[in-house]
Structure 1
Amino acid sequence: MKATEARLTAALDRPPADIRLYLLHGPDEAVAQAYVARLAKGMGDGAERVDLDGPGLRGDPARLADEAAALSLFGGARYVRVTGAGEEALEAVAALLSAERAGNPAIVLAPTVKATGKLVKAAIDSDRALAFACYPPGARDAATIVADLARGAGLRLSPAAVQRIVRGSDGDRAVMMREVEKLALYLDAAPDRPVDADDAALEAIGADIAEGEIGDVVLAVTAGQVAPLIEGLRRMNGPDASPIPILRALGRRLVMLAEMRAAVDAGEGAEQVMKRHRVFWREEAATGAALRRWTLPALAAAQQAARRVEREVIAAGPAGRVVADTFLLRLARSAR
């Protein structure tokens, strides 16, 4: 079945016996990992997790169904996580969905498969599976997502609070989910006892989404300003701070700089290029420095590196912040 976000989260929080497979497809791996964590919580403390991957299932497609039917070594709850799945996992998924018995749910992360592919179609066509597309939302969609998440948690968010979470998350649904959950916990909110929440409530919980700080960090990286970068990272280094919004904002900044650098290489003046791209006056010095320091090949390489590091951050779990900070510092030093 094709799942809505509300249907998916309800099933992850209280896994129903009739759902064998959760297929999370699309490029937003951060939110997919957040849903894996949600299933782990829904399975209960001490639940055993079995890890498989897509390439491994290609050579042994029966293993997914076997693991789903196996008993836990410790006699408790058990679930299967499959990472890096592609269309090569279709046979394994088909075997799981058609098996006589499967006592343990499987959650499959397939970031590269298309929504029109055979793997997604197999999950949508089965009443034993839930398929959900994980894509970074646009600004308008992000506001709707935050409002829906809040409503599901028993929160009535003010427009200002919604926009603050949207801006701070920078399109990262996992960060949105975390901030809403923290706020609901602080206010003791629940669907059966909704609570009003405004921007002041976010301040009260020390929400780590101060406006402008992400932009300051990104500017410092691309301008090669190591000291301001270190200070910016220190300000954002809260216990729950996610580096994903920084890396995504950096990616967009590198794309814009590449467009501007191409215009400069074609003979257009740097000041004229910045004016045409409507660079904010406070950012002109840092942008000018970046245009002097970066070449087009270097910007392309940095874009690829930022995408790779985002995947590494997701895979690293709690250590992801260290991975991201190290990358940002190296990039800033290379820009010098």
Structure 2
Amino acid sequence: MKATAPQIRAAMDAPKPETRLYLLHGPDESGAAELTTRLARALGPDAERIDIDGKELRTNPGRLADEAASMSLFGGARLIRVIGADEFTVEAMTLLLSAERAGNPVVAIGPGLKASGKLVKLAIASSSAMAHACYVPEGANAVQLVQMVAREHGLRLMGDVPQRLATACAGDRAILSREIEKLALYLDAAPDRPRDADANAIDEIGADIGEDDMFGAIEAVIDGRVAEIGAELAGIGEGGASAIPLLRSLARRLVTLAELRAEVDAGARVDDVIEKHRIFFKERGSTSRALRRWNAQQLARAIERTRLAERAMMSSASAGEVLAEAECVAIARASARMR
């Protein structure tokens, strides 16, 4: 069946034995990962997870059904996750859905799958499967997502808090979930004891430093001034602030550059684009240099790496600030090589 966002979230939180396959397609890999995490949580902390590369199923399509029917070593639940599902895995999915028994749920993640493709149509047509398209939420959809996740944690978001969270997380559901969880913990909120979350609560847990304080570090990264990165990062660290605001500001700057670069690629002159968007005088020089140095693909990759670094920082047992600093240096070095 084809599942809406509320339907797939409800299904992941309370999986039914008859649902053998959850097919998550579309470009929002963060959203697919967050849904998979919900299912893993519902199966319990002792559930065994089996990861299968989609390419392996091309030559061994029967493995998927075998894994779904197999018992865990200790007799508990199992979760089978297929990474990089594509049209070549149709045979494996067909065998899974037509098998005499399965027993363990399969989550197949296929960012490149098309809604009109055979695999998506197979999942939609089956009563034992759910197909959901994951797209990065934007605008009103992003705000609605923030409010929905907040309600699940017992939070009533007040004033402009939904918009602030949507902007800060830039559609990344993994980061949003972490922020909401942190806010709920701070306010002692839960579904059975809802709490109001206003701007003061966000400010108290955010401890974000102003973008002016990070301007030097961000511009050094984008300009490729590797020798200056250390001093800039040290200056930010002396204030005791987390590196997460730095990564978010860097991501916003890269997104802005990507939008401007799209206009340049469409035929506009760099100077005209800067004038059209009334770029702040303090940033005009660095913006001009960046648009002449970075292409669309490089900007997209830098945005992706920055988001991944933030998610890694928020995971348990991470290297913390070191991850952010290492990523800033890596991006700066990449920029330096573009000269």
Give the TM-score band, short-chain normalised. Answer: 0.7 to 0.9
Deviation at 1:308, TM superposition (A): 7.1
Aligned residue for 1:107, secondary structure, equals strand
Instruction: Report the counterpart of residue 306 of structure 1 in structure 2.
Output: 302
Matched residue, 2:157: 157
Query: 1:269-288 counterparts in 2 under 5 A?
Result: 270=271, 272-288=272-288
Q: Match for residue 26 of structure 2? A: 26
The normalised TM-score by structure 1 is 0.81
2:336 alignment counterpart? 333
Deviation at residue 248 of structure 1 after TM alignment: 7.2
- Matching residue's letter, 2:63: R
- Deviation for aligned residue 1:102: 1.1
Superposed CA offset, 1:68-114 (max 9, x none): 00000122221101101111111111211222211111111100001
When residues 162 and 193 of structure 1 are mapped into structure 2, their CA distance, relative to the original with a 3 A threshold, is same
SS in 1 for 2:206: coil
Q: Which runs of structure 2 are paired with 1:68-217 in the superposition (5 Å)?
A: 68-204=68-204, 206-207=205-206, 212=211, 216=215
In the alignment, the residues of structure 1 paired with residue 85 and residue 319 of structure 2 have an alpha-carbon distance, to the nearest angstrom, of: 23
Describe the shift of the 1:11–1:299 C-alpha distance in structure 2 as closer, same or farther (beyond 3 A): same
SS of residue in 2 equivalent to 1:159: coil
Separation (CA, whole Å) in 1 of partners of 2:44 and 2:319: 24
Tell me by how many angstroms 1:307 deviates. Answer: 6.8
| 1:47 corresponds to | 47
Which segment drifts farther, 41-50 or 79-88?
A: 41-50
User: Residues of 1 paired with 2:213 and 2:127: CA distance?
Assistant: 42
Aligned residue type for 1:138: E
Q: Deviations 1:5-56 (Å, cap 9, x if unpaired)?
A: 2222232233222221111111111222222222222221121111101111
Indicate the RMSD between aligned Cα atoms, in angstroms: 3.4
- Distance change (3 Å), C-alpha of 1:286 and 1:274: same
Structure 2 unaligned regions, length at least 5:
none
How far did 1:210 drift?
6.2
Task: Specify the SS of the correspondent of 1:57.
Answer: helix
CA distance in 1, matches of 2:23, 2:152: 22
The answer to whether 1:237 aligns with 2:243 is yes
SS at match of 2:132: strand
Q: Answer whether contact 2:52 2:82 (CA < 8 A) is retained.
A: yes
Instruction: Give, as a single letter, the amino acid of the residue that structure 2 aligns with 1:331.
Output: A
How far apart, in 1, do the equivalents of 2:310 and 2:64 lie?
23
Moved more, 31-40 or 315-324: 315-324
Match of 1:253 in 2: 257
Q: CA deviation at 1:231?
A: 5.6
Distance 2:66 2:213 in 1: 45
Aligned-partner Cα distance in 2 for 1:24–1:145: 17
Q: What is the 5 A alignment of 1:309-328?
A: 309=305, 321=323, 324-328=327-331
1:188 partner letter: D
- Number of equivalenced pairs: 324
SS in 2 for 1:175: helix
Flag the 1:60–1:193 CA change in 2: closer, same or farther, 3 A.
same
What is the CA–CA distance in structure 2 between the aligned matches of 1:282 and 1:166, rounded to whole Å? Answer: 27
TM-score for the superposition, normalised by structure 2: 0.81
Once residues 201 and 55 of structure 2 are traced to their aligned partners in structure 1, the CA distance between those partners, rounded to angstroms, is: 46
Identity %: 43
Separation (CA, whole Å) in 1 of partners of 2:319 and 2:96: 33
SS at match of 1:130: strand
Whole-Å separation in 2 of the counterparts to 1:211 and 1:147: 26
Question: Is the 1:24–1:109 contact (alpha carbons within 8 Å) kept by the matching residues of 2?
Answer: yes
The 2-side partners of 1:58 and 1:245 are apart by 42
- Stretch of structure 1 that moved more, 302-311 or 95-104: 302-311
Letter in 2 for 1:290: A
How far the C-alpha of 1:116 sits from its partner, in A, is 1.9
1:60 corresponds to which residue? 60
- Cα offset, 1:191, TM superposition: 3.0
List per-residue Cα deviations over 1:147-182 (Å, max 9, x = no partner). 122223221101311111011111212222221222
Q: Which moved more, 1:157-166 or 1:184-193?
A: 184-193
Q: 1:283 to 1:9 in 2, by over 3 A?
A: same
